[in-house]
């Protein structure tokens, strides 16, 4: 398996983890009976942690389809360069770092980490279409 596909697989693992994190935080907040029940009753807004984890998940899902597409275009076109692998790893690790920074509510650094992930995504896109 190529490096770009390995990173893509790890990005999908990260996406799965990011689905579980806000779900777990909501369960801690509202309780297991709420999680196992039909959730028909109105609930108070999520606490800060659950809300941040939910927004971090949504943020990942805004760029993940682009990352998947860029990696697949490069792979299907037979383009395999160090720039694609580097961009993919930059995207992935920035997204990993983004989660706790967002969960802790650290401003500005969160935005910088997001920008780094976009740079990594841009590297993959550029290498995929320029080759």
pLDDT-derived band of residue 121, with 50, 70 and 90 as boundaries?
very high
Question: What is residue 25's predicted lDDT score, i.e. its pLDDT?
Answer: 96
Residue-wise pLDDT tens digits, 13-36: 999 999 999 999 999 999 998 888
- Domain housing 99: 3-130
Task: Specify the CATH number for the domain of residue 60.
Answer: 1.20.120.550
Per-residue pLDDT at 42 exceeds 90: no
Number of alpha carbons in the 13 Å side-chain half-sphere of residue 77: 17
Total domain count, the chain: 1
The torsion angle over the Cα atoms of residues 24, 27, 28 and 32, rounded to 10 degrees, is -130
Residue-wise pLDDT tens digits, 67-87: 999 999 988 888 877 889 999
């Amino acid at each position: 398996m190529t490096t770009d596909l390995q990173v893509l697989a790890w990005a999908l693992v990260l996406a799965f983890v990011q689905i579980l994190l806000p779900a777990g935080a909501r369960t801690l907040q509202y309780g297991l009976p709420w999680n196992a029940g039909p959730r028909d009753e109105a609930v108070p807004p999520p606490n800060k942690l659950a809300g941040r984890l939910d927004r971090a998940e949504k943020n990942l899902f805004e760029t993940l389809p682009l990352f998947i597409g860029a990696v697949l275009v490069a792979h299907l076109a037979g383009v395999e360069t160090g720039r694609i692998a580097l961009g993919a790893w930059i995207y992935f690790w920035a997204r990993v770092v983004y989660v706790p920074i967002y969960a802790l509510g650290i401003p500005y650094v969160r935005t910088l980490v997001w920008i780094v992930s976009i740079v990594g995504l841009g590297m993959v896109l550029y290498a995929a279409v320029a080759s």
